[in-house]
């Protein structure tokens, strides 16, 4: 008997301790909060910077209020006399106390979410609230199994109210947005990491682009900018952080190792869901075909019906989980592995191509013109500047060297030798500038 009561006695206490640890950050935020603790700077993270208008238009008042109202309703349902009387006398008396304690902690979290002005803090508290609501649901499920009650029991209405409070609180806590809309170089960043966890899992964050596509043809300015982790510069820096002595495929594996592990985990879970659905279908068929059961396995008609309904629920859940995992696996494979790897390789090719010198073997100037000074790879190879040097104007200091200075009629003539040219070599390039008032004949530049 003591072994049977071990799980109902220990599980609520463990879940209550977990919920208490998750409530510490919201409680500390409530205690530290001042009357006018509004952020005076716009939100900013690695993806971009938000604006005051975007933060003002960010409306999540309904989910914030829904979390607190659902927590209060659950606390009221757990502390009433009907909830305490629903417990079987043989069950532990700590179960209703633990449930009421869990709901009390959720009420504190809901109050912290309601008064917190920063969106990313509310998002974290919402995740903690969702975990606590899952703890309450686990306690309720354990209690329902331990008391073995039918649907016509007098406490079913009270338990249904508490389960409805769990569902509403969980839905509201997962509907909190993570951040306001941010911009990168004046372009809106995609909202994959800015929406709520529910919207992210359901892929509804891409809905604005689809609505715009139905209205008119899309252009490049209509598409949002990608996040920081998927930009070419970030990918190139991550690859540069790897050991250069390794092969390229080893460097790529080192960069995308977390994503590869997530991919393997999703594949394993999808396979387990596939096996689980087939096992549930087998057990359901055994319940529906009495001839396939042994004589010692005969069950009453009511128990057979409940077992069949339970296996139907397990079958449906396993099929739904398999569908969600397949969708997430396809999304992870394309957007977290295939596209970033291609972008990384393209960035490497572009970076290499823009650093290759344009011309080689330029002819030396004739006459009294001397070969200008060259440094770096251009001096070693006798080649002109690269495309990157042309775009950044870094080639002026190395490629141009004054070789003759003369003054005529108050004008200063500087002759520069250009040993390279994109399509032909020229001996010299002449620039005419007027002497300043401080220039004199004794100046070393004036001959």
Q: When comparing pLDDT for 41 and 426, which is higher? A: 41
According to the model, what pLDDT value does residue 425 have? Answer: 39
Residue 84 pLDDT > 70, yes or no? no
For the segment 13-19, the average pLDDT, to the nearest whole number, is 88
For the segment 15-32, the average pLDDT, to the nearest whole number, is 90
Neighbour tally for 347: CB within 10 Å: 18
Label residue 143 by pLDDT band (50, 70, 90): confident
According to the model, what pLDDT value does residue 295 have? Answer: 55
**Highest-confidence range of 407-411, 433-437, 440-444, by mean pLDDT?**
407-411
Q: Are 253 and 260 in contact (CB under 8 A)?
A: yes
According to the model, what pLDDT value does residue 414 have? Answer: 46
According to the model, what pLDDT value does residue 144 have? Answer: 65
| Residue 49 C-alpha from the chain's centroid | 16
| Residue 282 C-alpha from the chain's centroid | 39
According to the model, what pLDDT value does residue 288 have? Answer: 81
pLDDT in tens, 359-374: 544 444 444 444 444 4
Q: How far apart are CA 318 and CA 275, in angstroms?
A: 9
**Highest-confidence range of 300-304, 320-324, 383-387, by mean pLDDT?**
320-324
**How buried is residue 357: exposed, middle or buried, by Cβ count under 10 Å (0-12/13-18/19+)?**
middle
For the segment 224-248, the average pLDDT, to the nearest whole number, is 86
For the segment 12-36, the average pLDDT, to the nearest whole number, is 84
Using alpha carbons, select from 335, 47, 336 the residue that is nearest to residue 181.
47
Residue 376 pLDDT > 80, yes or no? no
- Which two structure tokens, joined as six digits, stand for 362? 């330029």
- Mean pLDDT for the chain? 75
Label residue 437 by pLDDT band (50, 70, 90): very low
Distances (CA, A) of 236 to 6, 46, 430: 55, 16, 41
Q: When comparing pLDDT for 333 and 406, which is higher? A: 333
Element (H, E) at 286: helix 257-288
Label residue 245 by pLDDT band (50, 70, 90): confident
Q: How far apart are CA 175 and CA 196, in angstroms?
A: 5
Residue 162 pLDDT > 80, yes or no? yes
Least confident of 187-196, 296-305, 348-357: 296-305
Q: When comparing pLDDT for 11 and 377, which is higher? A: 11
For the segment 142-152, the average pLDDT, to the nearest whole number, is 55
What angle separates helix 61-79 from helix 156-173, to the nearest 10 degrees?
160
According to the model, what pLDDT value does residue 394 have? Answer: 56
Label residue 113 by pLDDT band (50, 70, 90): very high
Q: When comparing pLDDT for 141 and 113, which is higher? A: 113
* Percent of the chain at pLDDT exceeding 70: 66
Least confident of 159-168, 234-243, 378-387: 378-387
pLDDT in tens, 380-432: 444 556 666 656 655 555 444 444 445 555 444 444 444 444 434 344 444 44
pLDDT in tens, 89-108: 444 556 778 888 899 999 99
According to the model, what pLDDT value does residue 424 have? Answer: 40
User: Which residue do the tokens 């957007």 mark?
Assistant: 335
Residue 109 pLDDT > 90, yes or no? yes
Q: Is the pTM of this model over 0.85?
A: no
pLDDT in tens, 173-209: 999 999 999 999 888 898 888 899 999 888 888 888 8
Label residue 244 by pLDDT band (50, 70, 90): confident
Q: When comparing pLDDT for 245 and 374, which is higher? A: 245
pLDDT in tens, 62-80: 999 999 999 999 999 888 7
According to the model, what pLDDT value does residue 369 have? Answer: 46
């Amino acid at each position: 008997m003591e072994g049977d009561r071990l799980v109902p006695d220990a599980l609520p206490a463990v879940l209550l301790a977990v919920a208490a640890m998750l409530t510490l950050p919201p409680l500390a935020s409530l205690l530290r909060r001042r009357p006018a603790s509004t952020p005076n700077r716009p939100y900013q993270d690695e993806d971009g910077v938000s604006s005051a208008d975007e933060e003002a238009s960010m409306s999540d008042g309904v989910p914030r209020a829904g979390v607190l109202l659902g927590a209060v309703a659950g606390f009221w349902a757990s502390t009433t006399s009907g909830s305490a009387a629903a417990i079987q006398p043989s069950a532990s008396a700590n179960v209703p106390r633990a449930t009421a304690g869990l709901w009390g902690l959720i009420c504190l979290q809901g109050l912290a979410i309601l008064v917190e002005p920063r969106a990313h803090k509310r998002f974290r508290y919402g995740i903690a609230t969702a975990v606590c609501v899952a703890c309450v649901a686990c306690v309720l499920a354990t209690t329902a199994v331990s008391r073995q009650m039918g649907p016509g029991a007098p406490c079913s209405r009270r338990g249904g109210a508490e389960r409805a409070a769990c569902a509403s609180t969980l839905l509201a806590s997962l509907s909190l947005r993570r951040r306001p809309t941010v911009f990168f170089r004046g372009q809106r960043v995609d909202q994959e990491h800015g929406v709520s966890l529910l919207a992210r899992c359901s892929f509804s964050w891409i809905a604005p682009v689809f609505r715009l596509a139905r209205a008119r043809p899309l252009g490049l300015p209509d598409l949002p900018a990608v996040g920081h982790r998927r930009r070419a510069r970030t990918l190139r820096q991550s690859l540069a952080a790897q050991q250069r002595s390794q092969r390229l495929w080893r460097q790529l594996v080192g960069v995308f190792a977390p994503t590869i592990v997530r991919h393997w985990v999703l594949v394993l879970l999808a396979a387990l869901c596939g096996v689980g659905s087939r096992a549930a279908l087998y057990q359901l068929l055994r319940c529906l075909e009495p001839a396939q059961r042994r004589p010692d396995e005969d069950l009453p008609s009511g128990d057979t019906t409940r077992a069949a309904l339970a296996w139907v629920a397990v079958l449906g859940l396993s099929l739904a989980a398999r569908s969600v995992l397949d969708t997430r696996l396809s999304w992870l494979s394309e957007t977290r592995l295939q596209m970033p790897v291609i972008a990384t390789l393209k960035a490497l090719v572009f970076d290499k191509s823009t650093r290759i010198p344009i011309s080689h073997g330029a002819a030396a100037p004739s006459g009294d013109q001397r070969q200008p000074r060259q440094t770096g790879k251009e001096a070693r190879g006798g080649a002109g500047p690269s495309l990157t040097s042309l775009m950044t104007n870094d080639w002026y200091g190395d490629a141009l060297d004054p070789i003759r200075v003369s003054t005529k009629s108050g004008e200063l003539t500087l002759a520069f030798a250009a040993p390279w040219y994109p399509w032909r070599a020229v001996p010299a390039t002449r620039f005419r500038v007027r002497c300043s008032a401080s220039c004199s004949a004794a100046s070393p530049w004036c001959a």
